[in-house]
Amino acid sequence: MGLLKAKGITVCFGQSVIALTLDPTHRDADPALIKEDMDVMTDFELHRLCLQYPSVQDYQLNTDMLLDSGKLSLLTQLLTSLKNKGDRVVLFGQFTMMLDILEMFLKPVKHRYIRLDGSTPMSDRTLKVIKL
């Protein structure tokens, strides 16, 4: 079962906090502080935490649960319609986490994309845009 909070699914904080304290990197950590940190994490942040630590990998969310969003459903329709017309689309995001989510969304639906963010070297940006 995942750690998903927004959908009203049972929250497994207690079990995942205990599991995380078994990880060598968190063995001496205060479980109350771990829980406090996890309480304010988004579903995606919790998912990435589960991917990062083997002790809590059983709690990661599947892609369908992560991408179950009205906004992404509408984006799917828009992108399909625009792609069928031969249009190209530029998506902007203010946060790299949003770009991470968009990448997870775009890969399975086979939309071609390039990612440009602050970590993309200036010399690579022009080449990437030209390729697309």
Domain residue ranges of the chain, discontinuous segments joined by + = 13-66, 70-131
Q: What is the distance of C-alpha 66 from the center of its chain? A: 7
How much is the pLDDT for 14?
61
Between CA 128 and CA 122 the distance in angstroms is: 10
Q: What is the distance of C-alpha 51 from the center of its chain? A: 11
Question: For residue range 32-88, what is the model confidence (pLDDT) as tens digits?
Answer: 877 788 788 888 888 888 888 777 777 777 777 777 888 888 988 999 899 899 988
Q: Which residue has the higher pLDDT, 5 or 120?
A: 120
Q: Which amino acid is at 59?
A: Y
Contact between 91 and 61 (Cβ < 8 Å)? no
Of 80, 92, 91, 62, give the one whose Cα is nearest residue 2: 62
Answering whether pTM is above 0.75, one says no
Give the pLDDT band of residue 2 (cuts 50, 70, 90).
very low
